[in-house]
């Protein structure tokens, strides 16, 4: 039996949101496995290491949510501390992408060390696939009628059912589809990174594609939070949300690293030519 949010199979309830997230993960992993041999890497490590990336990624995403819960959820960090079992209830929703990215990178790092694989080349190879996974996964927010922005009359605005409208916006019907904006941005990011990775495959410094991915995601997250209605904020900094502050830090650090690495590469090449 189907409803708007999932499938009932006897005592089990499978949410479309979870199926879409899993589809995004598998699609990203499949593409990664297909591309690996072209970059001199063994695709067997993709499927063997998927669990190492997914589980720490889910843990990181959950921790990020617990520390920065959406005001619309009615939950707080204090609530989770007082009800620790609820920290495990991911089926009720609550995952933060930044935590997922950090957790996934840690998991990949541990697996790379365990199997003696080069970390940065694998991260560069995985970055566009992660973007594909995000582009697909964001459609889970569409199914749940969440992650929408301010009310709008634009032709591509989406209808939000009354029971899913945030407090104070009950009188509005159509809103910015932020999930769609991010999905299209990440799809475009993936295509660009695929092209750059192939074009620079013989000369780009390891880690470059990963840094570009971080900058791309941080940029769209920073911009979309100006339209988002339910972002977590930091007391004393009313102009920016927590996600925007994290985005600024992530993008700035990644950009500085890109510049420093580029200067180092130019200097090294100059020394080689002088010799």
Question: Would 172 be classed as within a structural domain?
Answer: yes
Question: Would 257 be classed as within a structural domain?
Answer: yes
Share of the chain above pLDDT 70, in %: 93
**pTM score of the predicted model:** 0.89
Range with the poorest average pLDDT among 135-144, 187-196, 211-220: 135-144
The secondary structure of 243-268 as a DSSP string is HHHHHHHHHHHHHHHHHHHHHHHHHH
Mean pLDDT for all residues in the chain: 88
Question: Would 92 be classed as within a structural domain?
Answer: yes
Question: Would 102 be classed as within a structural domain?
Answer: yes
pLDDT of 274 higher than 60? no
Question: Would 1 be classed as within a structural domain?
Answer: no
* Domain span at 41: 6-274
| Residue 77: C-alpha distances to residues 69, 81, 102, 192 (Å) | 7, 6, 20, 38
228 forms beta bridges with: 149
The model's pLDDT over 167-190, given as tens digits with 9 standing for 90+, comes to 889 999 999 999 999 999 999 999
CA angle 129, 118, 262 (to 5 degrees): 80
Question: Would 171 be classed as within a structural domain?
Answer: yes
| Residue 164: C-alpha distances to residues 5, 72, 177 (Å) | 12, 10, 14
Question: Would 258 be classed as within a structural domain?
Answer: yes
Range with the poorest average pLDDT among 43-52, 88-97, 206-215: 88-97
Question: Would 34 be classed as within a structural domain?
Answer: yes
Number of domains in the chain: 1
């Amino acid at each position: 039996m189907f409803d708007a949010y999932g499938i009932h199979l006897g005592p089990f309830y499978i949410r479309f949101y979870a199926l879409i997230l899993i589809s995004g993960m598998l699609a990203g992993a499949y593409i990664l496995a297909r591309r690996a041999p072209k970059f001199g890497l063994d695709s067997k490590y993709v499927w063997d290491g998927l669990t190492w990336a997914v589980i720490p990624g889910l843990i990181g995403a959950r921790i990020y949510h617990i520390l920065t819960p959406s005001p619309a959820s009615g939950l707080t960090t204090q609530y989770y501390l007082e009800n620790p079992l609820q920290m495990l209830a991911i089926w009720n929703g609550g995952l933060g992408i930044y935590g997922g990215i950090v957790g996934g990178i840690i998991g990949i790092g541990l697996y790379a060390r365990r199997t003696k694989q080069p970390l940065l080349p694998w991260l560069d190879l995985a970055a566009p696939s992660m973007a594909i996974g995000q582009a697909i996964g964001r459609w889970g927010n569409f199914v749940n009628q969440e992650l929408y922005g301010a009310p709008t009359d634009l032709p591509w605005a989406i209808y939000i059912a009354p029971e899913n409208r945030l407090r104070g916006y009950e009188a509005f019907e159509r809103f910015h589809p932020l999930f769609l904006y991010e999905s299209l941005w990440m799809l475009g990011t993936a295509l660009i990174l695929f092209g750059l990775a192939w074009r620079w495959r013989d000369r780009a410094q390891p880690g470059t594609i990963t840094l570009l991915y971080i900058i791309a995601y941080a940029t769209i997250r920073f911009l979309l939070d100006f339209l988002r209605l339910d972002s977590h904020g930091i007391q004393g900094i009313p102009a920016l949300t927590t996600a925007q502050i994290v985005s600024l830090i992530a993008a700035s650090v990644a950009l500085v690293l890109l510049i420093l690495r580029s200067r180092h590469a130019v200097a090294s090449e100059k020394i080689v030519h002088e010799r």
